[in-house]
Amino acid sequence: MNRRQFVCTAMASVVVASARPVGASQTRMTVYKDPSCGCCGAWATAMGNAGFQVDLREVDDLDSIKRKYRVPQTAEGCHTAVLGPYFIEGHVPLDAVKRLRNEVPDILGIAVPAMPLGSLGMGDDPSVASYDVLSVSRSGETAVYMSVRPKKV
């Protein structure tokens, strides 16, 4: 091996050793929920079953958590999760969470307002689920990030 090959091999080894897949650091999720809410626990369990490391925190003042992470009132759901730099508000489906983690968009977070029937944690029934997942820009504006519509089973 000549000197040039050695240097190139050494540099490539350093790059490979320090590289991490996009989103690899975003597997730890903190979920803030009301102590008496069961559907939030079901959502957190589903996230844990999907491979996220979930830190479930029961809090009496969810409003302060929502304000801290700048969740707009129009996008509020039943619980607030934090994944890396993002908030995940309400009963967001797993596909949307994975997309957020993989695409790493320049937004504050994603949200499913209210508690839609058939959403993850609310029965998880694709035959009745019909709602939109919203993205929240850094200026607080919302847009449709993903639509969930009934699937025939």
- Going residue by residue through the chain (153 aa), what tens digit of pLDDT does each one get? 554 343 333 333 333 333 333 344 468 999 999 988 888 888 999 999 999 999 999 999 999 999 999 999 999 999 999 999 999 999 999 999 999 999 999 999 999 999 888 888 888 888 899 999 999 999 999 999 999 999 876
pLDDT value, residue 24:
44
pLDDT value, residue 139:
96
Rounded (to 5) percent helix, strand, coil in the chain? 30, 25, 40
The residue length of the chain stands at 153
pLDDT value, residue 20:
36
Q: Structural domains in the chain?
A: 26-148 (3.40.30.10)
pLDDT value, residue 17:
35
Q: Rounded to whole angstroms, how far apart are CA atoms 48 and 56?
A: 10
pLDDT value, residue 123:
86
Consecutive H or E run containing 10: helix 3-18
